[in-house]
Amino acid sequence: MAAVFPNVSSLPAGNYEVLRFGPQSSEDATRTGFPISLFSSVSNVTDVKVKEKALLESFDSLRPLYPEPIMQLSCSYKYYSASIEMERLNSIQGELKDFHNQNFDSQLNKIIDRVEYSLKLLSSRDRPSPSITRTRPVLTRNSLKVLEEWYECHLDHPYPTASQVEWLAQVSSLNTEQVKKWFGNKRSRSKNTRSLTEIAKVKRRQRLLKRH
DNA sequence: CCAAATGATTGAAA
DNA sequence: TTTCAATCATTTGG
C-alpha cells in the first residue's frame, strides 16, 4: 500500500513533532512520523469533509485558549491535507480513480484523527500559561440580527434543525457551535423552552416529513 | 468602580 | 445524543 503514495510517505519528518502535546503515552511509539497504520488498511471513511469541518471549528474554539499550539496544529494540518489533495489531483486519471480517492480520504481521515488526539491532549494538559487570558467573543450586531430575527420568527418552536443551524452559521458568519450556544442561552434566558419529550416528538415529525 | 449582559462550560436528565 | 439550568468569566454601560 505504501508504494501507492510514495510522495506522501516522503514528506519531511521534522514537522510531525508539532502533532504531539502533553504527556508521552504508549502511542508515541510512532514518534517520528505518521502512525504506521496510515498505510496499513483502507478504513471505511464516513465523511471526511464533515470531520474536517468539525476539526476546523475545534481550532476556532480552542484558539483563544492556546494560540500558539493551535496555530502550529492548524498549519501542520493544512500542510498535510494540501499534500494529500495534490496527490489526489495527480492521480485522477485511470480506472483506479475511485480506489485512489478512497485511499486519499482514508489518509486524510487518519490525519484528522491524529490532530484531534493532539487537541485532546492539549485540552487535558495542565492549565495554559497564565499569560493567556480567556476572552469572550462579542458577537457582531449583524450576527445577532440574524439570530434574533430567526428566533422572533420561530417563537413557538425556537429549535433550528441541523441544516438550519448550518444556514444560520453561514449567514451570521459564526460557527455552528456558537449558533447552538446562542439559541440554548436565548431559550433558557427567555424562559421559552419545551419539555424534552415534546422536542423529540417534533423532531420525529420533521424526520418523517423529510422523507416525503 | 460595579452590576447587568452575555458567550461559554458543565453536569444531569431523558 | 440533545437540551436545560446553573454557573463561570469577560465585557460593557452607567
Nucleotide nearest to A189 in CA–C1' terms: C5
Q: Which residues of chain A carry a pLDDT beneath 50?
A: 1-44, 128-131
> A117 and A55 in contact (C-beta within 8 Å)?
no
Judge whether residue A173 contacts strand B, using its CB and a 7 Å cut-off.
no
> A81 and A75 in contact (C-beta within 8 Å)?
no
pLDDT of residue A190: 96
pLDDT of residue A122: 75
Q: Per-domain residue ranges for chain A?
A: 2-124, 141-210
* Helices A141-153 and A162-172, packing angle to 10 deg: 150
**CA A199 → CA A152, A154, A196, distances in Å?**
18, 14, 5
C-alpha cell, A138 = 462579542
Output residues with Cβ under 7 Å from nucleic strand C. Answer: A 133-136, 138, 159, 162, 180, 184-185, 187-188, 191, 193-194, 196, 199
Architecture of domain A141-210: Orthogonal Bundle (1.10)
pLDDT of residue A146: 97
pLDDT of residue A44: 46
pLDDT of residue A125: 62
Tell me, in Å, how far CA of A195 is from C1' of B11? 18
Judge whether residue A189 contacts strand B, using its CB and a 7 Å cut-off.
yes
Rounded-to-integer distance, Cα A145 and Cα A178, Å: 14
For chain B, which bases have at least one atom within 7 A of a protein Cβ?
6-10, 13-14
CA dihedral defined by A97, A98, A99, A100, rounded to 10 degrees?
A: 50
Tell me, in Å, how far CA of A41 is from C1' of B6? 48
pLDDT of residue A206: 86
pLDDT of residue A99: 83
